[in-house]
Amino acid sequence: MTDMRTPLRRVRGLGSATSGTEHFWQQRLTAVANLFLISFFVILVIALHNESYADVRAAFANPLVGIAMALVTVSAAIHMRLGMQVIIEDYVHGGMKVILVILNTFFAVAIAGASLFAIVKMSFGV
């Protein structure tokens, strides 16, 4: 049987992709984190659904709520980017693949940035 890996890859135990396992674990880790973080977000939304705007701002002024919402945003954006990257890599062929992966990253960063800006604005009452 022919081994197509280089001697260095055989020593390190890495395949041709070198980052597939890391990508797999990042996606699983963010999925588990999202279970808890988005549950907190849903509970918060249910608790605040009949409250006034001032009460919602007061809730976001609590550092724990602000930090939790920031963690929800970051974890969900990372998970979204990783998931869409897998879909793009699996189903898009040709020159558009690289462009779409780049646009996917920019989109995830833009969504996370806008969400974090809104959270900071709500938390600090600016």
Pick the CATH number of 33-124 from 1.10.287, 1.10.1760, 1.20.1300, 1.10.10: 1.20.1300
Return the structure tokens found at 17: 């992709």
Pair 33, 82: CB distance under 8 Å: no
What single-letter amino acid sits at 51? E
Q: Where are the alpha helices (DSSP H) in the chain?
A: 7-12, 20-48, 53-61, 63-91, 96-124
Query: In the chain, where are the structural domains located?
Result: 33-124
pTM of the model: 0.81
Pair 54, 48: CB distance under 8 Å: no
User: How confident is the prediction along the chain (126 residues), in pLDDT tens digits per residue?
Assistant: 676 666 666 566 555 555 667 888 999 999 999 999 999 999 999 999 999 989 999 999 999 999 999 999 999 999 999 999 999 999 998 889 999 999 999 999 999 999 999 999 999 877
CA 27 to chain centre: 8
